[in-house]
Structure formats: structure tokens, C-alpha cells
Amino acid sequence: MGLPIEQTELPQAYPLSELLEHIRQLVKSTYDGTYWIVAEVIELSHSRVGHYYFTLGEMQDGKVVAKVQGNLWAGVARSVMSEFERITGGKIEKGMQLMLQVRVEFTPLYGLSLTILGINAEYTLGNLERLKRLAIERLQTEGVFDMNRLLSLPILPLRLAVISSDTAAGWGDFCRHIEQSGISHLLRIKLFPCIMQGAQTTPSILAALDSIYDEREDFDALLVLRGGGSRLDLSAFDDYELCAHLAQMPLPVLTGIGHERDESVADLIAHTRLKTPTALAEFIVRRVEEALTRLFDVKEGIKTLLSERREEAQEILDHTLLHLRQSLYSLTLNETRRLHRLSTALSIPLRSLSHRSETRLHSLVGSFARTAHRLLSNEKSQLATKQNRLTLSVHERLSSGNYETDRCRDRLTTQLQALRPRQTQLLEHLEAVAKTYDPTHIMRRGFLPVMAEGAPLLSVNQLSHATTLTVVLPDGKATAEVKDILPEE
């Protein structure tokens, strides 16, 4: 036979339903009234018949430290939800902190839950205001509250980054106003679509801000657009994290959020706050138009100044040409007179030299004749010899006098011939200078005036496809139509 089996006594055990029923009775007897609690909506859903199912929780340092199921039954849900929406202007959404009136329930099948009997909407509004004040104080303490207002908004804000919902009425109003303004072709607007209502508003806008920061060199300003809504709808624009990012953006932030009565933290930290998206569009249009008006005024002033300078230059040129002509005439006249005086001055010595030579010749002939007559009586042959010698001497002296006269005349002729080319060359140079500054000569080199609608063409900004151009040529005018306008990049 084998060893006897030792019998072990088992502990007393209860059915689960009995234990849970005991707990239910205990809960019912202990928590038999209603209680006000503060909890955050972690999850929210509803059924077709009108029941709402909440997952309520409490967060500490970003972690859930308590969680329970809350049920708002259809019988009271209609009145509770309507009252909440009437007071706050919005619906209950995930992530919202609520003050709820509840009754503690425990059933063996579903466990612990809270039956919601009411929701204090005033607490929700007050909590939003409290969170708004805390966000403002924190931004001021960290020194970023006024940071964006220190940036300079360009005089011509043409490149705009826009944060809005692509289906929102505010975005549509903004676009329509820009299109009707007549300056839409000057603006480069890029929309960064975002969710603008509900729990995903802040994460969606933060993601868009990251994208805009990466492209910050391509924009002059950042616009945040959101049409009107309730305090709950606009509560995301009081969020500290969102407003801290907006305040520290390297672009001027312009807001058009809600209605005139609404003022969010995003409005307070923005560089410029407008009442509505339409008002923001009007601000952009007015700023661009004013800047363009100033630029056009400057342009007209420059045109007037250039016209005056051109007239002054033309007067100077005309005066210079007149002066050159007068100088050339005076120079030519003076040189002609000088040449005449020189010729006259030279002719007198020449005539005097010739006269003196002839006088001297006659004197010598007479002397020789007298000598010959005196010697004739002494020796006839000797007289003939001396007469021949004297005759030869006379011829030599005559040849010498004629040679000297011819040499003076040749030197004077050479000087006069050398002087004339130099004077002619100077005159031709001055005429070439005058010809170079002749407008007709400039036009023949290819520099032709072009007129647009009767005014000198100075910029492509004067052109349109309906503009008729007039080209001024040396021998007439020609018209042309604008086919392409290609501004220089």
C-alpha cells in the first residue's frame, strides 16, 4: 500500500459577483450624494441615441495620475450640452478642463464610473481667462512678450506667409479683398494650411511655423488669419507655447483673429494687430498703395529733375557750340589778320632791300663809269682791262643781291605754308567736336529716343500690352506695339 495522501484545507472563497456586489453596496452607502470635480477630457465620444462617453483624467507634469469613465446620459445630455454651448459659445472638446457635477456609480459588470449630471460652463470660461493671464505673465517674465514688435515691417510687404484654414471664411474674405484691390499681381502670398479649431489647433500651427521659419528669407511678414468664434474656439491663440513661438519669429507677425471685441494673447504679442481678416487685408493694401504712391512721386520728381537737367545740358551744349563757332570765327579772323599783317610787315623790308640794292647798284655803276672816264685818258688798253674787271665785279654784286632777296622770299613763303595747315587742322578738330555732340549724329549711332504715350520711356513699369511706342529717327518717326515685357531680375 502506498503512503496516505495528506488532505489540505482550502481558504474560504467568494464568487466575484458577490464581492463586487459588496463593493457596490459600500460605494452606494458611502458616496450616496453628488460631487463637483475638476478633470480634463482625455477622450470623448457619443452614440446615436444621444449618450456621451467621457474619459476623464488628471494630469501632473504631462502624465496621467488619475483616470475614470464618465457617462452623460441622453436624458440630461441635451440640456447640459445646450447650456454649456450657450454660455461658452463652443462645444466640449478633447483636452478641455471641466468642472462637472457627478454621482459615483459602481456595477459588478462595468466597474467604477461617474454619471455626469451637470457641467459648470462659467468655470470653463474662468479657467480660460486664468490660463490667458498665466501665459501673458510667463511671456513677460521670459522677456519675449514685446520681442516681435521690435522688428521692422517693410514699407512694401509684398511677400506674405499666411497661417489659416484653406476652407475658413476668414481666408476667403482676405483673398477677395486682395483681389478687388487691384494690387494682387504685386503680392506673393503663400498659404500654410492649418487646423484652426479644436485640440489640434496648437500642434498644427506650430508645425506650420517650423516650415515658415525654414523659408523665412522668402517672406516679408507672417499673417495669422482666423474668422470670428467663441472664446473656446479662439482659446488656442491664448496658448503659451503657440504665442511664445509667434513672439520669437524673425518675421513681423500680423494678426486678424476673431471679431473686434476679441483680444487673444497672440494679438497682444503680435507686431500689428488688426480686428478681422478683412481689416488685415485692407491694412496690407493701404500700406502697399501708400508706398507705391511715394515711389511714383519720387519717380515723377526724378523725371522732372532729369528733364530740367537735360534742358540745362542742352542749353550748355548750345552755348558751347555757339561759343565754339564764335571762337573759330574769331580765331580764323585773327589769324587772317595776323597773316595779312605779317605779309605786309615782310613786304616792306623786301621792297626796302630791293630799293637799297638798286640804289647801291646805280651808285656803283656811276662810280665805275666816272673812274673809267678818268682812266680812259691815260691808257686805253688798261682802261679796257679795268672796265672788263669792273663789269665782272658789278655782275657778281648784282647776282649776290638777287640771291639774298630770293632767299628771304622763300623763307617767308615756307613759314606761311607751314602756318596754314596747323590752323586748318585746329579748325577741323573743333568742327569734329561740335559734330560729335550733335543730337542727329548721336541718333545715327543707334541711340534713339523712345516715347511711350508721349512721354520718354525710362522703365518697363510704364509699359503694358496696350502701350504704343514712338521711336524718333534722324529722318522721321516710327510706331511700335509692345509684345513682351521682361523686367530685369
- Tens digits of residue pLDDT in 391-419: 666 466 556 556 666 776 777 677 767 76
pLDDT-based confidence at 1, cuts 50/70/90?
Answer: very low
- In this predicted structure, what is the pLDDT of residue 213? 94
pTM of the model: 0.51
Same domain? 215 vs 261: yes
Mean pLDDT value across residues 92-117: 90
Whether residue 303 contacts residue 458, with contact meaning beta carbons closer than 8 Å, is answered with: yes
- Tens digits of residue pLDDT in 37-85: 999 998 999 999 999 999 999 988 878 899 999 999 999 999 999 999 8
Helices 277-376 and 380-436, interaxial angle, to 10°? 170
Asked if the structure places residue 88 within a domain, the reply is yes
- Tens digits of residue pLDDT in 305-344: 777 778 788 888 888 888 888 888 888 888 888 888 887 7
Same domain? 112 vs 159: no
With 0-12 / 13-18 / 19 or more C-beta atoms within 10 angstroms meaning exposed / middle / buried, residue 114 is buried
Q: Which of 160, 188, 156, 162 is nearest to 289 (CA)?
A: 156
5 has pLDDT over 70? no
Residue ending a domain, choose from 275, 292, 309: 292
- In this predicted structure, what is the pLDDT of residue 241? 93
Q: Which residue has the cell 466640449?
A: 92
Residue ending a domain, choose from 259, 292, 325: 292
Mean pLDDT value across residues 343-360: 68
Q: Which of 381, 220, 340 is nearest to 291 (CA)?
A: 220
Asked if the structure places residue 427 within a domain, the reply is no
Residue ending a domain, choose from 131, 165, 192: 131
- In this predicted structure, what is the pLDDT of residue 422? 73
Same domain? 59 vs 175: no
C-alpha cell at 120: 459648470
Same domain? 109 vs 182: no
351 has pLDDT over 50? yes
Same domain? 195 vs 101: no
Asked if the structure places residue 256 within a domain, the reply is yes
Asked if the structure places residue 61 within a domain, the reply is yes
Same domain? 276 vs 158: yes
369 has pLDDT over 90? no
- Tens digits of residue pLDDT in 414-460: 776 776 777 777 777 767 766 666 677 677 777 778 887 778 877 87
Asked if the structure places residue 184 within a domain, the reply is yes
Residue by residue, DSSP assigns 99-136 as EEEEEEEEETTTEEEEEEEEE-HHHHHHHHHHHHHHHH
Same domain? 34 vs 158: no
Same domain? 193 vs 282: yes
Asked if the structure places residue 105 within a domain, the reply is yes
- Tens digits of residue pLDDT in 465-480: 778 888 888 888 888 8
| Measured distance CA(312)–CA(315) in Å, rounded | 5
- In this predicted structure, what is the pLDDT of residue 453? 78
CATH number at residue 209: 3.40.50.2300
- In this predicted structure, what is the pLDDT of residue 483? 81
Q: Which of 253-267, 275-289, 364-378 has the lowest mean pLDDT?
A: 364-378
Mean pLDDT value across residues 141-165: 93
pLDDT-based confidence at 138, cuts 50/70/90?
Answer: very high
- In this structure, which amino acid lies at residue 334? N
pLDDT-based confidence at 103, cuts 50/70/90?
Answer: very high
- In this predicted structure, what is the pLDDT of residue 85? 87
Asked if the structure places residue 247 within a domain, the reply is yes
| Measured distance CA(470)–CA(482) in Å, rounded | 11
* 3-class DSSP state of 477: strand
93 has pLDDT over 70? yes
CATH number at residue 103: 2.40.50.140
pLDDT-based confidence at 463, cuts 50/70/90?
Answer: confident
Same domain? 206 vs 282: yes
9 has pLDDT over 90? no
Whether residue 56 contacts residue 113, with contact meaning beta carbons closer than 8 Å, is answered with: no
Give 292's contacts (C-beta < 8 A, 6+ positions apart): 156, 183
Asked if the structure places residue 194 within a domain, the reply is yes
Sheet holding 450-452, edge to edge: 455-456, 450-452, 468-473, 476-481
Residue 483's φ and ψ, nearest 5 degrees, are -100, -50
Of the two residues 61 and 373, the one the predictor is more confident about is 61
Same domain? 28 vs 107: yes
262 has pLDDT over 90? no
Same domain? 151 vs 125: no
Same domain? 173 vs 197: yes
Instruction: State which residues form the domain around 173.
Output: 144-292
Domain count, the chain: 2
C-alpha cell at 437: 555732340
| Mean pLDDT rounded to a whole number for the chain | 82
